[in-house]
Structure 1
Amino acid sequence: MSRETGFVSLCYHYLRPKKGADLFPRLLGTRIEEFRQQVETLKKSYQVLSPEEILRFYRNEENFNMDKPSLLFTFDDGLSDHFLAAQILAEKGIKGLFFVPSCILSEKLPANPTIIHYCLAIYKVEGFLKVYRDAIAINNLSLAKFDITYRRGVDDPWEVIRTIKYFTKYKLGYINTRKILLHIYREHLLRDFPKIMEEMHLSKLQIQKVIAMGHSIGTHSHSHLSVAASELPKGDFYKEMIFPKSYLEETFGIPVYSMSYPFGGQKDCLKAKDLDDMQSAYDIIFTVEKVLNTQDTNPLELGRYMPMSTDNVTRIDHILQKMIQGQAV
């Protein structure tokens, strides 16, 4: 990596076993053997960087002059899938950056989107909407205002899923969203699958092992909400953005200098100029804007590409090359 060329970054979420071995086959994600192939192939074409090298670069402590384009591997949501990913990277001598929502440790509760994903995978769209409506009623919210309809054979289920995500990210408000999703988790997912938290998220012991492998961890808010869209009062801003850093540092006895925005789109991320309360908290912050990160990039607005479940390594490399060349993706 040099000041002229910079680096690109990948942001992974679910990494699933083969369908025949997957307890929740409807979860969308990169198959773990596909991920292994991606790592092996990309390592041949890219200079894979460690999180510490990125940090030193933006602290002006180090400059990298390499013949290959540079790449960083990152992982969002603190998913249980990421433990195997950490092992694969370690086998290849690669250090990754794992972003963890603090609710999975301090409260032993899943992050918001993880509840949605597992509920849809288990109960399908119709089942999700049934328990969603139950939660709306129990929390004394207006069904007329927040209902989501689905007619099998008429409505596109993927469009309905997009509506579910829009409502829980933006329309319901972050307080109502958390109440509704925790009701669904406690009254349905946890009842039907008492150990589902182990399937969803990394445990404290697993994160300790990830760190022992040489990887780094960063924050991913507390409960996984859209930070910029939520209009957080000061106390809730602290809980979602500052508390996770101090909690992870105290829990694991290491400095935490990075975070990634939940969802990570422009609507979800604060501008660097609006981060006065966080300037001293974080050195680097990641979005999911598909851009090349250079010395001129604000380190609180770094970009990444999120591989889709249908992406193979050829497509990922093609997208990364377009990012490096400054072309629209």
Structure 2
Amino acid sequence: METLSLVVVIGAALFFTYTNGFHDSANAIATSISTRALTPRVAVGMAACLNLAGAFLGQEVAETVSEGLIDAPTGDEGMIILFAALVGAIVWNLVSWYLGLPSSSSHALFGGLVGAALAGTSTVYWDGVLTKVILPMFLSPVIGLIVGYLLMVAILWTFRRANPHRAQRGFRMAQTVSAAGMALGHGLQDAQKTMGVVVMALVIADVEEEGGGIPVWVKITCAGVLSLGTYVGGWRIMRTLGRRIIELDPPRGFAAETTAASVLYAASYIFHAPVSTTHVITAAIMGSGATRRLSAVRWQVAKNIVLGWFITMPAAAGVAAVSYVLVHFAFA
């Protein structure tokens, strides 16, 4: 029974990773596509490859997810909690994708973990949730907004005397690099989150020891599935990020992508914090776009997106809690 439970949970984790890939592919490439720096298929192909590569650049975020948020019990009870958490995250990913809402797959997963753990009366490490999830959820978009604005101001000042057509062409080429950096950062962050859940499942099933690192097969599998999901492409959300918030030009697209990628790397390597790529890139787009004029940003669209950010964790937690009750009742 435990072996079957382990297989089911790992399967659910990989399906979540797949939805994460197509849900969040817009984060890395929507700006480059909207400014015509890259064609859509070239962009998703590049993002898929770099998502795959980024997943192997570290494991600190995975350790935070697997050890720092909840304490699931061993055996089938722990498996039910993980399965319910993943169901909550998957349902929210699919709903927000259908609505074209760039919400956070990461916070859907964290909300699912907390909701399922509370429903199963398991321990939630609230200090870890506060410092590793809640604070970064608020700080990372603020940092992305401010840095995106300041970087774009610096670009405008530096190239104030440049030929406009040559500058646009140069930044369109530079966006290839900044989009690649963003895609690499997305793989670094988001693949590790699923790795953390799979490691939790292996520890609960007594297949791996806690603190024993991430098996190579887990890295390869999670990275590959995320990459596959990214290649499918979340076109609904790309339209929201690329055009509905603001009509981006290549310099502003470059500023937004460079800002977001920098925040992702800093969060991964310095703070070991799992941050939302969606929050960071959306805020950076708003910041760089606001340099044109404040009214250039469609703040009503931005308000709806931010509202979705606040709903994500409670919504995923609620679905996870209901899923836990249903599964526990079915197999009790």
Fold-level similarity (TM above 0.5): no
More strand by share: 1
Query: When the two structures are superposed, what TM-score results if normalisation uses the length of structure 2?
Result: 0.28
Query: When the two structures are superposed, what TM-score results if normalisation uses the length of structure 1?
Result: 0.28
Q: Which has the higher contact order (CA 8 A, sep 6+)?
A: 2
